Amino acid sequence: MNEQEQDETIDQWRRRYAQLAALAGELAHEIKNPLSVIRMNMELLHEDFEEINLPLARRAVERIETVNRQCQRLDTYLKDFLEFTRFTSLELKAGSLNDQIEQVLDFFLRKAEEQGVKIDRHLDAALPSIKLDSQTLQQALTNLVKNALEAMPNGGQLLVRTRLVRNGVALDVIDTGCGMEANALLNMFKEFYTSKDGGTGLGLPTARKIIEAHSGRINVQSEVGTGTCFTVEFPTPARLPE
């Protein structure tokens, strides 16, 4: 197979992937509509049975609550799946990585305080601009910070740092949480893999997908009982790959 044939094959696979992703997204949307109707009616049934002080009614309430929990779980799966499949191209413009992570940290500030997590920000004020799509990049950064906070339910420290590196700029998200075992490190970026109760296993794969769409890369180091460090690197405009 010559180079032209290889390029044509790659293009064909890309088109096929885009078509499948679009179809999966449409299917997820179709599932969300009846699921919303089911949840609404179960909530109404819950209200009706709560007013009846009989053993049969109490058992019915328990079963309704079970259905509601499973509906919520499905809704979370669908939401994360749609985020994973929804973008096919990015509108990249010059922007500040510092501004992006500042907005995400501000969003999680109250949650961090409630958990007893201290956020330390060490952002290089001289950091050059990068090419970014604000909405999707913030989604990736949100997943990283959310993951770090979930690793510290009983408090800790979250260090967020930006810095210059040889090929562009880097962002470090470092937590003092539970850390990850070897199996989790090997599988953490695989779709639907999760070691958390109620997790969908799509947060980190989505983050990596977005970062790579920005011509970036993500690495992780972790030690059980010590914490985890995610490092994301982006090229600066002058160093963007052709």
Report the number of distinct structural domains present in the chain. Answer: 2
> Is there a single domain that holds both residue 27 and residue 132?
no
> Is there a single domain that holds both residue 107 and residue 198?
yes
> Is there a single domain that holds both residue 72 and residue 134?
no
9 pLDDT more than 60:
no
pLDDT at 35: 77
Of 41-45, 94-98, 114-118, 131-135, the least confident:
41-45
> Is there a single domain that holds both residue 71 and residue 102?
no
Residue with tokens 């967020």: 160
**Tens digits of residue pLDDT in 27-47:** 666 677 777 888 888 888 888
> Is there a single domain that holds both residue 101 and residue 218?
yes
> Is there a single domain that holds both residue 42 and residue 109?
no
> Is there a single domain that holds both residue 146 and residue 69?
no
Q: Which two tokens stand for residue 14?
A: 């890309």
Taking the model in full, what pTM does it have? 0.66
pLDDT at 109: 94
> Is there a single domain that holds both residue 25 and residue 102?
no
Confidence of residue 158 (pLDDT cuts 50, 70, 90): very high
> Is there a single domain that holds both residue 123 and residue 31?
no
Using the 3D structure, point to which of 62, 85, 108 is the last residue of a domain: 85
> Is there a single domain that holds both residue 129 and residue 75?
no
pLDDT at 16: 59
Interatomic CA distance for residues 242 and 240, integer angstroms: 6
Of 49 and 115, which is predicted with more confidence? 115
Using the 3D structure, point to which of 53, 85, 117 is the last residue of a domain: 85
Whether 17 contacts 25, CB under 8 Å: no
Torsions phi, psi for 236 (to 5 deg): -80, 160
Of 37 and 112, which is predicted with more confidence? 112
Torsions phi, psi for 202 (to 5 deg): -120, -10
Using the 3D structure, point to which of 85, 103, 121 is the last residue of a domain: 85
At position 236, the amino acid (one-letter code) is T
What is the CATH classification number for the domain harbouring 165? 3.30.565.10
Instruction: Please report the DSSP string for the chain in residue order.
Output: --HHHHHHHHHHHHHHHHHHHHHHHHHHHHHHHHHHHHHHHHHHHHHHHHT--SHHHHHHHHHHHHHHHHHHHHHHHHHHHHHHHS-S----EEE-HHHHHHHHHHHHHHHHHHHTEEEEEE--TTPPPEEE-HHHHHHHHHHHHHHHHHT-TT-EEEEEEEEEETTEEEEEEEE-S----HHHHHHTTSTT---STT--S-HHHHHHHHHHHTT-EEEEEEETTTEEEEEEEE--GGG---
At position 200, the amino acid (one-letter code) is T
Interatomic CA distance for residues 73 and 175, integer angstroms: 27
> Is there a single domain that holds both residue 131 and residue 176?
yes
pLDDT at 28: 67
**Strand 156-165, strand 117-122: pairing:** parallel
Percent over 90 (pLDDT), the chain: 38
> Is there a single domain that holds both residue 119 and residue 148?
yes
Question: Can you give the residue range of the structural domain that contains 107?
Answer: 93-239
10 pLDDT more than 50:
no
Of 43-47, 146-150, 217-221, the least confident:
43-47
pLDDT (average), residues 79-83:
68
